[in-house]
Amino acid sequence: MSLPVLALTVIVVLGLGYRFYGRWVARQLQLDPDVKTPAERHRDGVDFVPTKPFYLLGQHFSAIAAAGPIAGPIMAGQQFGWLPALLWIGLGVVFIGAVHDMSTLVASVRHEGRSIAEVVKGVLGPRAGVVMLAFIWLALIYVIVAFADVTASTFVSGDAEVKGLAFRFNPGGAVAAASTMYLGLALLMGLVDRFLKPPLWLQTLIFVPATLGAVWLGTQVSHVLVLDQRTWTLLILGYCFVASLVPVWTLLQPRGYLGGFILYAALAIGVVGIFFGGFSVEQPAFKGFQVPGPAGSLFPFLFVTIACGACSGFHGLVCSGTTSKQIARETHCTPVGYGAMLLEGLVAVIALATVMIATPAELSGRGPGAVYGAGLGRFLTALIGEEHLVFATTFGAMAFSTFVFDTLDVSTRLGRYILQELFGVKGRVAAGLATAVTCLVPLGFVSMAGPGAWRAFWTLFGTSNQLLAALSLLGISVWLKQAGRAYVFALVPMVGVFAVTLTSLVLQVGESMATGASTVARVNGAVAVVELVLAVALLGIGARALFQRPVPAPVTATAE
């Protein structure tokens, strides 16, 4: 089957899923366009701001579409073949991932814009809320570990002869330079917007082309920022520390705005390249149920490796953290919550396509960032010509790092919030300490594993991320039951994701106890044990709430 036919099939599945299943789920949630949302009731112009669904969809999509749906499908495609990965992406986002995102968003809207941890606390009690917060923090730590190191790996590459060039070129240095300049542009845009307040259209007209200019300039100074992977990891974690403490207008908001244009450009390039680039599928569709390596069995490791490409608990943090405070009408939860996850599925399909068109030699020794950059570069050269291969490849790899920076920033900031809430501390000193802990733990993990640490931690990252989604669906199922509404559509995917992730945790614990297991495997095993205990504890609380019989109201005696 040709690449365009496969891609078109998945796109049709996503469209039908939105048209029929998404709307069916919306009916089960009984969305009411006439009920005032928290954004309307608590409008303050800062956090609670009613926003048109088209603009909110773009903001929400750029917040959730990070490196997970790129790196995960690429790794799974290399390991198990593209067919099982494609099936899980297509069906997973329709019946699990999008249901999780939409129902989490609705639950937060119905609970005054509160976080999913607070929703769980409200329906299952204070103890469950503490367990949920602790699990979220652990999951965020693994997000930072995996994404910081995988980004550092895209910044490191030896000199390589690139087709059509007469000089030595360092692709990693080019991506590092372009990404650094991109962050500098975002910082400059934040300062300009804050103090000069020019119209947004003028800022867009200046800074978006400047971002593309940074890509070109990066190719011209590829020899300047040539550092080893450990140094880049330290610098990236230092960025996380600073970016999560400065005001959001300084870096988070302008970087997210510019990153949205990179994201949409990458999507457009991928779609056009797949359909009109004339590429053929070079990789086998299926490589077996059991392949070499510690995470070698298709069940459960295919599912947790793809991670955000099909289902992501991290999305629930975004849905209930910022997006729910901007929903103007309950019915907007369908395009924003359900629709954005389907778009993320498309991102995952494009990422998988970059593996499908590559030969085994082109994949050998390459990480997900390099594979995605090379593949997206090939798609772009189909439009602008082979003579622009260097620019195209650098743009693809920089797009990958752009998505990662957004995730790292948000994850570190959320980790700080959670630690402060868990220990009940406030103020700038407490914020600094909480941020330092959230950065130092990943630094310790990466230092212990050495270069390429993301490979050692990715499986547990994917497991934690999807288990967080299962725990969120558990809380949502209990909330829906207590409200007297249908909840099976949330309960069934919850059971499926629990089966996958708990099996994965048990297998990782077993691997850590094997003779000759590495230090990293033992650390992962210890964390897996903690996550198992937290998940089982919350599952027990939730199960009692789901299956307990309603207590009949007491009968009051009346005098005759």
Helices 389-423/200-220 angle, 10° precision: 120
Q: How many domains does the chain have?
A: 1
Q: Which of 64-78, 226-240, 267-281, 376-390 is modeled with the greatest confidence?
A: 267-281
Q: Where are the alpha helices (DSSP H) in 197-228?
A: 200-220
Phi, psi of 289, deg, nearest 5: -80, -25
pLDDT band, residue 252 (cuts 50/70/90): confident
Helices 116-124/126-154 angle, 10° precision: 160
Provide the 8-state DSSP code for 222. T
What is the domain-level CATH number for residue 324?
A: 1.20.1740
Rounded-to-integer distance, Cα 117 and Cα 421, Å: 11
Question: pLDDT tens-digit profile of 462-519?
Answer: 999 999 999 999 999 999 999 999 999 999 999 999 999 999 999 999 999 987 888 8
Residue 399 belongs to a domain: yes
Check pLDDT > 60 for residue 24: yes
Mean pLDDT for the chain? 88
Q: How many CB atoms lie within 10 A of CB 161?
A: 10
User: CA-CA distances (angstroms) from residue 360 to 352, 356, 479?
Assistant: 14, 10, 49
- The mean pLDDT value for 411-421 works out to 86
Residue 109 belongs to a domain: yes
Q: How many CB atoms lie within 10 A of CB 515?
A: 4
Got the DSSP string for 440-485?
A: HHHHHHHHHH-TTHHHHHHHHHHHHHHHHHHHHHHHHHHHHHHTT-
Residue 417 belongs to a domain: yes
8 Å CB contact between 264 and 256: no
Q: In DSSP terms, which residues pair with 290 in a beta bridge?
A: 297
pLDDT of residue 76: 93
Residue 557 belongs to a domain: no
Residue 560 belongs to a domain: no
Q: Is the peptide bond before 300 cis (omega within 30 degrees of 0)?
A: yes
Q: Which residues are CB-neighbours of 531 under 8 A, at least 6 positions away?
A: 135, 138, 463, 464, 467, 505
Domain span at residue 61?
3-547
Rounded-to-integer distance, Cα 211 and Cα 185, Å: 7
Residue 558 belongs to a domain: no
Rounded-to-integer distance, Cα 309 and Cα 321, Å: 21
- Poorest-pLDDT segment among 146-155, 277-286, 546-555: 546-555
Question: pLDDT tens-digit profile of 253-308?
Answer: 788 788 888 888 889 999 999 999 999 999 999 999 988 776 789 999 999 999 88
Residue 179 DSSP SS3? helix
Residue 556 belongs to a domain: no
Q: Which pair of tokens denotes residue 40?
A: 């309307």
8 Å CB contact between 430 and 170: no
Residue of 12, 169, 71 lying closest to 461 (CA atoms): 71
Got the DSSP string for 8-60?
A: HHHHHHHHHIIIIIIHHHHHHHT--TTSPPHHHHT--SSS---B-HHHHHHHH
Rounded-to-integer distance, Cα 407 and Cα 402, Å: 9
Provide the 8-state DSSP code for 426. -
8 Å CB contact between 92 and 69: no
Rounded-to-integer distance, Cα 102 and Cα 316, Å: 9
Residue 236 belongs to a domain: yes
Rounded-to-integer distance, Cα 416 and Cα 420, Å: 6
8 Å CB contact between 494 and 94: no
